[in-house]
Amino acid sequence: LWQLLPRPKSQPPLVWHWIPFLGSAATYGRDPIGFFRQCREKYGNCFTFILLGKRVTVTLGTRGNDYVLGGKHTQLAAEDVYSPLTTPVFGKDVVYDCPNEKLMEQKRFVKVSLTIDKFRAYVGMIEDEIKGYLETDPKFRVYQMDDINEWGAFPVLEVFSEMTILTASRTLQGREIRERLTKDYAQVYHDLDHGFTPLHWMIPNLPLPSYRKRDAAQAKMSAFYQSILRHRREHPEEHQDDDVMASLMKQRYRDGTPLRDHEIAHILIALLMAGQHTSSSSLAWTMLHIADRQDIQEALYEEQVKHFGTPDGGLRDITYDELRDLKVLDAVVRETLRLHPPIHSIMRMAHEDIPVPATLAAPSEDVTYVVPKGDIVMASPIVSQLDPTVWENAETWEPLRWYDDKGVAAQAHKQYNEGEKIDFGFGLVSKGTVSPYLPFGAGRHRCIGEQFAYLQISTAICALIRRLELKLEGNFPKSDYESMMVQPLPCKILYRRRKFD
Ligand code: HEM
């Protein structure tokens, strides 16, 4: 009944719901994109819905992305929304458990260790890990047999999740940590990962085993990193490592203080978690589309032969600099991130009443909406990434759109980034917050792992496509919105070994 009472015109429309506290939680949780589209049709680009007792105001479209991602952090704070999920998993004093200025410094420290020189070395390590995995993991039994004509099937989610953790830990975390993390600490990682779910976010503390295991795992993981840090300090002669930990040990905050051991440990945990689900679901979606589209699979393989083929019919090692020239590969990753960006909702907390620009949404010419202090504000770049008024055949996975002569996607992009140089070479598309394509976010909280993720995913695709032919088993899987990131529902890919190997 309360919903029927007249409300101030300046308040964005409230999405109708039957159950007071739950609000639209079930509809949003099951299919957020469908929910946003329905609401957009009914209420326009700005509306409010109830999510487990909280008011959430959504702003859609390119202007909506800009409103949230380009907002001042004094008005729109990320930490208030994300901290209940991330602090129990990452640990104290990092990321969203510290003032925003400190997070900005921490992001800068990590960026220092994500340089092109490092990337050059990472390519070989990633290929090595994938090769080793195919040769030893029981899920690739058929690959390991002599008969190259036989087809096998592997479970998509498990395989790409394992490949991602192996390649990320080997490169970002260094060989020493990679070895121990995947052997002695596999269960600890598993328990920590199981505390990184929507339920743990909505209700950060419950007397349930998964919560106890999460907290114990965080303490163990933190102690594990800190023991390595101590050892490195006490025995510098034994450690010539050039990994992220070594780089963080040398950094200083602006006031001159070094990072404390637990901060370094917690930043490393944060990097592990931030990159794991995002990269593994992106890799899984990409490989599923490649398995589904034989023409693109062939084009990818031919691109490998063209760039890396040797006179004896083999393929030489991939290099970072050459990877950047592979147009089909780049388009395949870019198009997958358009259709399946792993993060569907980006959130902030309004610290004051904030007017909504009339160009985004307004009830009438003389009244503008105001988002009230205390609302969660939400953008969903995937809605503009699938907008049929921006993209031709928006729902179809069509990598060609990124590099065909017409440059359809380039046109769409240019429209929103007038004057900005577009680098279609590798990764990066836009730095601005007004864009219809923002899989890595934008503005202050923009992803720092973009270039690394691109490198990791692209190298993994090369390593796989060189060795395997792929086909889909059954229909193309639907999206699972109930996990932390948008990932495919459980499914399998059929594979057969290529002759090259
Ligand atoms: C932030 C996406 C991989 C570390 C973000 C944001 C998005 C995103 C959308 C913005 C979140 C917001 O504004 O609230 C992705 C995707 C990835 C990926 C699609 C892979 C395909 C990685 C990797 C790392 C990483 C590999 C670490 C090496 C971070 C960090 C932030 C971030 C530290 C900043 C958080 C902040 O400032 O609040 N990412 N990410 N990401 N990402 Fe990524």
Task: For ligand 1, say whether the CB of 279 is within 6 Å of any of its atoms.
Answer: yes
The closest-lying atom of ligand 1 relative to the alpha carbon of residue 457 is 21
255 CA to centre of ligand 1 in angstroms: 26
Structure tokens at 166: 């192996």
The closest-lying atom of ligand 1 relative to the alpha carbon of residue 276 is 26
165 within 8 A of 133, measured Cβ to Cβ: no
Q: Which amino acid is present at 14?
A: L
The closest-lying atom of ligand 1 relative to the alpha carbon of residue 114 is 28
445 CA to centre of ligand 1 in angstroms: 8
Q: Which amino acid is present at 210?
A: S
148 CA to centre of ligand 1 in angstroms: 39
Question: What pLDDT sits at residue 409?
Answer: 52
452 CA to centre of ligand 1 in angstroms: 11
46 CA to centre of ligand 1 in angstroms: 25
Residue of the CA atom closest to atom 42 of ligand 1: 447
The closest-lying atom of ligand 1 relative to the alpha carbon of residue 103 is 37
Query: How crowded is residue 45: how many other Cβ atoms within 10 Å of its Cβ?
Result: 22
238 CA to centre of ligand 1 in angstroms: 33
Query: How crowded is residue 254: how many other Cβ atoms within 10 Å of its Cβ?
Result: 9
Question: What pLDDT sits at residue 174?
Answer: 83
Determine the 3-state secondary structure of 367 from DSSP. coil
Strand-pair partners of 258: 252
234 CA to centre of ligand 1 in angstroms: 34
349 CA to centre of ligand 1 in angstroms: 18
Structure tokens at 417: 């980034």
The closest-lying atom of ligand 1 relative to the alpha carbon of residue 282 is 21
169 within 8 A of 178, measured Cβ to Cβ: yes
What does the DSSP assignment read for 380-447?
-HHHHHT-TTTSTTTTS--GGGGTSTT-HHHHHHHHHSTTPPP--SSS----SSS-S--TT--GGG--
- From 143, 123, 129, select the one nearest 500 (Cα to Cα): 143
Question: What pLDDT sits at residue 218?
Answer: 97
Residue of the CA atom closest to atom 33 of ligand 1: 448
Q: Which amino acid is present at 345?
A: S
pLDDT averaged per 10 residues, the chain (length 501): 72 92 92 96 96 95 93 95 96 98 97 88 95 96 91 96 93 85 84 90 92 96 95 85 89 96 97 93 98 95 94 92 88 94 96 95 89 97 90 90 60 48 42 81 93 95 97 95 90 91 53
471 within 8 A of 459, measured Cβ to Cβ: no
Question: What pLDDT sits at residue 173?
Answer: 86
Separation between Cα atoms, residue 468 and residue 496, nearest integer Å: 6
**Residue 376 phi, psi dihedral angles, 5° rounding:** -80, 135
Separation between Cα atoms, residue 422 and residue 409, nearest integer Å: 11
- Specify whether the backbone of 27 is left (phi greater than 0), alpha (psi in -120 to 50) or beta: alpha
Q: Which amino acid is present at 321?
A: D
- From 163, 166, 164, select the one nearest 182 (Cα to Cα): 166
Q: What is the ipTM of this complex?
A: 0.99
Structure tokens at 372: 């009230």
pTM of the model: 0.93
Measure the CA dihedral 340/67/58/343, to 10°. 20
Question: What pLDDT sits at residue 74?
Answer: 94
462 within 8 A of 444, measured Cβ to Cβ: no
435 within 8 A of 420, measured Cβ to Cβ: no
The closest-lying atom of ligand 1 relative to the alpha carbon of residue 342 is 19
Question: What pLDDT sits at residue 428?
Answer: 43
Question: What pLDDT sits at residue 301?
Answer: 96
Residue of the CA atom closest to atom 41 of ligand 1: 449
Structure tokens at 192: 């920590």
Question: What pLDDT sits at residue 500?
Answer: 60
Task: For ligand 1, say whether the CB of 445 is within 6 Å of any of its atoms.
Answer: yes
Beta strands 54-59 and 376-379, pairing class:
parallel
Q: Would you call 252 exposed, middle or buried from its count of C-beta atoms within 10 A (0-12, 13-18, 19+)?
A: exposed
Task: For ligand 1, say whether the CB of 78 is within 6 Å of any of its atoms.
Answer: yes
Task: For ligand 1, say whether the CB of 390 is within 6 Å of any of its atoms.
Answer: no
- Quick one: DSSP state of residue 69? H
Task: For ligand 1, say whether the CB of 71 is within 6 Å of any of its atoms.
Answer: no
183 CA to centre of ligand 1 in angstroms: 27
Residue of the CA atom closest to atom 39 of ligand 1: 447
256 CA to centre of ligand 1 in angstroms: 27
Separation between Cα atoms, residue 35 and residue 44, nearest integer Å: 13
Terminal CA-CA length for the chain: 68
C-alpha distances out from residue 459 to 313, 318, 344, Å: 21, 8, 25
Structure tokens at 30: 């099951």
